[in-house]
Amino acid sequence: MAIFKGAGVAIITPFHEDGSVDYEGFGRLIEFQIANQTDAIIVCGTTGESSTLTHEEHLDVIRYCIEKVNHRIPVIAGTGSNCTQTAVYLSREAEKLGADGLLLVTPYYNKATQKGLYQHFKTVADSVKIPVLLYNIPGRTGVTMNPETVAKLCTEVENIVGVKDATGNIAQVAHLMQLAKGKVDLYSGEDGIIVPLLSLGGSGVISVLSNIAPKETHEICSRFFEGDAAGSCELQLKALPLVDALFCEVNPIPVKKAAELMGICGSTLRMPLTEVEPEHAAVLEREMKAFGLI
C-alpha cells in the first residue's frame, strides 16, 4: 500500500528576514495545501532547504508540520544525509514525532558505489518501522542510483516501498518499472514529466509546483487515475511554462518568490541561496498571472 497516491508537495520552509523559521507563514502554507487537495506533505526535503537547517531546527520543523496537519493527510519527513549515522538519527527522531513515512536522498558528495548505496539505505530503513521512499536526484548529489539497486532495495528491505525519481531519464525509469514487477511505488521528482511517469505505473509526484498550485497538480494526477489521460496531459502541458519559470534559477529560489507573490509567506532564503534576479521574477510573475494564480 503506497504512503500516498497523487500529488504530494515538496514544501518550502518559510524564514523571517533574520533567518529564523517563520512558523506562522509555514502554518498558512500547510492550511493552503490541505484546503486545495494536496495528497501529502513532504517536509524538510531539498525544497525545504534542509541542508541549511540545524538538526534541532530540522526536527522542530518536522514536529510542527506533523502537529499542524494532525493526521489529515500523510506527512513524509526528509531525513536523508551523506552520513549514514546522521540519517539514522534523524529518521528515528522523525518516527518518534509521528511521521507517516521518510524520504531518503542518495548520499551526496561521498559518491558511494551501488553496494554502498544499498548498505546505506538498508541500514537507515532497518533502524525504523515506518515506510521509506528513496530519492534519486543525481543532478544535486553527483551519484545515480541504478534501477537494479532501487529494485533490489524495494524487494529485499520490507519497509523501503518506493522512489522519488528526479533523474529525468524516462528510459531508465521504464527499466526500473520492468525490473520492479509491481514492488516499487514510483513518484515523479520533476513537475514537467508527471504524466509520462504515471503512464509507466507511477503513483504520483512529489512536487515543487504544488507549493503554489496544489489543486491543479492534484488534478493532473487524479484525472490520470480516473482514466482521463488526455485531460491529464492537457493540464500537464498547460503547466509547463509555469514549471519552467519555477526552475529558472535553482530550486527553491523561484518558488519562494512565488509564495511571496501570492501573499502566503516571505521569500527569504538561507545562504548560499540568494534572492531571485529581477528579470526572472518578472517572468515568474507573468506566468503566474497567465496560470491564474495572481
Helices 253-261 & 229-246 angle (0-180, nearest 10): 100
The answer to whether residues 177 and 200 touch, using CB atoms and an 8 Å cutoff, is yes
Would you say 80 and 87 are in contact if contact means Cβ atoms under 8 Å apart?
A: yes
How many Å apart are CA 240 and CA 246, to the nearest integer? 10
What separation, in Å, do the N-terminal and C-terminal C-alpha atoms of the chain show? 37
Query: Contact 200/209 with Cβ under 8 angstroms?
Result: no
Three-state secondary structure string covering 227-244? CCHHHHHHHHHHHHHHHH
Percent composition of the chain: helix, strand, coil (DSSP 3-state, to 5): 50, 15, 35
Q: Note whether 136 and 145 are within 8 A (CB).
A: yes
What three-state secondary structure class fits 70?
A: coil
C-alpha triplet 289, 293, 294: angle, nearest 5°: 60
Number of Cα atoms under 13 Å in the Cβ half of residue 9:
30
Residues with catalytic function? 135, 164
Concatenated DSSP letters of 19-59: SSB-HHHHHHHHHHHHHTT--EEEESSTTTTGGGS-HHHHH
* Cell numbers for 23: 512558523
Type of residue found at 286: R
